Structure 1
Amino acid sequence: MSLSTSSSRPLDIVIIGAGIGGLSAGIALQQSGHRVRLFDRVPQLTPAGAAISIWPNGVNVLEKLGLGEAIKAASGDMLAMSYNTAQGELLTRFSLQPLYQAVEQCACPIARTALQGILLEACGPEHVTLGVTCEAVQALADGVRVTFSDGQQIDADLVIAADGTHSRLRNHVVGQEVQRQYCGYVNWNGRIDAAQDLAPANEWTQFVGDHKRVSLMPMGNDQLYFFFDVPLPGNSANVREGYRDELGVHFADWAEPVRKLIERLDTAVVSRVEIHDMAPIGSFVKGRVVLLGDAAHPMAPDLGQGGCQAMEDAWVLARCLEADAQDLKAALASYDAARVERTAQIMQRARARSDVTHGREPEQTQAWYQELAAETGERVIAGLAKTAMGGGAWLD
Structure 2
Amino acid sequence: MPKRHAVVAGAGIGGLTAAIALHRRGWHVTVCERAPEPPTTGAGIGLAPNALRALDTIGIDAARAAGSAVATTMGLRRSDGQWLARTDTADMAARYGIPPIAVPRPALSAALAAALPPETLRYGTAVTGVDDATGHPTVRTTVGPDLPADLVVAADGIHSPLRHAYFPAHPGLHYIGETAWRTIVDAPDLRIPAMSETWGRGERFGVTPLSDGRLYLYATAVVPAGTRSADPRAELRHRFGSWHDPIPALLDRVGRLEPAEVLQNDLYDLAAPLPHLHHGRIAWLGDAAHAMAPNLGQGGCQAIEDAVVLAHLVPAGDRTDRTDRTDSTDSTDSVPAALAAYTAARRDRTDAVRVRARRIGRLGALSNPLAVAARDLTVRATPDRLALRGMDDLFNGFRLPG
- Identify whether the pair has TM-score above 0.5, normalized to the shorter chain: yes
Q: Is the 8 A contact 2:201 2:369 kept in 1?
A: no
The reply to whether residue 337 of structure 1 matches residue 344 of structure 2 is yes
SS at 2:7 equivalent: strand
Q: Is the 8 A contact 2:80 2:244 kept in 1?
A: yes
Q: Which of 269, 274, 285 is the equivalent residue of 2:266?
A: 274
Q: CA deviation at 1:49?
A: 3.6
Q: Which amino acid in structure 2 is aligned with residue 310 of structure 1?
A: A
**Would the alpha carbon gap of residues 259 and 36 (structure 1) be closer, same or farther in structure 2, given more than 3 Å must change?**
same
Aligned counterparts of 1:343 and 1:220: Cα–Cα separation in 2: 27
Structure 1 partner of 2:318: none
Structure 2 partner of 1:214: 205
Q: Which amino acid in structure 1 is aligned with residue 215 of structure 2?
A: L
Percent of aligned pairs sharing the same letter: 31
Structure 2 partner of 1:353: 360
Aligned residue-pair number: 384
Instruction: After TM superposition, list the pairs within 5 Å mapping 1:35-50 onto structure 2.
Output: 35-46=28-39, 49-50=42-43
Q: CA deviation at 1:30?
A: 0.6
The reply to whether residue 230 of structure 1 matches residue 221 of structure 2 is yes
Q: Which amino acid in structure 2 is aligned with residue 46 of structure 1?
A: P
Q: Is the 8 A contact 2:35 2:124 kept in 1?
A: yes
SS at 1:214 equivalent: strand
The reply to whether residue 263 of structure 1 matches residue 270 of structure 2 is no
Structure 1 partner of 2:131: 138
Q: Which of 90, 98, 118 is the equivalent residue of 1:105?
A: 98
**Would the alpha carbon gap of residues 90 and 245 (structure 1) be closer, same or farther in structure 2, given more than 3 Å must change?**
same
- Give per-residue Cα distances to partners, 1:261-287, cap 9 Å, x unaligned: 112102442211111111211201111
Q: Is the 8 A contact 1:173 1:289 kept in 2?
A: no
What is the alpha-carbon root mean square deviation over aligned residues? 2.2
- Give per-residue Cα distances to partners, 1:42-96, cap 9 Å, x unaligned: 1112177410000000001111121216546614312311332212233343312
SS at 1:169 equivalent: helix
Aligned counterparts of 2:108 and 2:66: Cα–Cα separation in 1: 11
Aligned counterparts of 1:309 and 1:160: Cα–Cα separation in 2: 15
The reply to whether residue 378 of structure 1 matches residue 385 of structure 2 is yes
Aligned counterparts of 1:363 and 1:46: Cα–Cα separation in 2: 43
**Would the alpha carbon gap of residues 139 and 212 (structure 1) be closer, same or farther in structure 2, given more than 3 Å must change?**
same
- Give per-residue Cα distances to partners, 1:317-360, cap 9 Å, x unaligned: 11111342341222111001001111000000000011111117
Structure 1 partner of 2:319: none
Instruction: After TM superposition, list the pairs within 5 Å mapping 1:306-345 onto structure 2.
Output: 306-322=299-315, 323-325=325-327, 326=331, 327-345=334-352
Structure 2 unaligned blocks of 5 or more? 316-324
Aligned counterparts of 1:252 and 1:70: Cα–Cα separation in 2: 33
The reply to whether residue 390 of structure 1 matches residue 397 of structure 2 is yes
Q: Which of 230, 233, 240 is the equivalent residue of 1:251?
A: 240
Q: Is the 8 A contact 1:39 1:132 kept in 2?
A: yes
Aligned counterparts of 1:178 and 1:75: Cα–Cα separation in 2: 40
Aligned counterparts of 1:256 and 1:101: Cα–Cα separation in 2: 30
Structure 1 partner of 2:20: 27
Q: Which amino acid in structure 1 is aligned with residue 364 of structure 2?
A: T
Q: CA deviation at 1:12?
A: 1.0
Aligned counterparts of 2:179 and 2:187: Cα–Cα separation in 1: 24
Of 281-290 and 32-41, deviating more is 281-290
**Would the alpha carbon gap of residues 337 and 144 (structure 1) be closer, same or farther in structure 2, given more than 3 Å must change?**
same
Of 65-74 and 85-94, deviating more is 65-74
Q: CA deviation at 1:112?
A: 0.4
Structure 1 partner of 2:82: 89
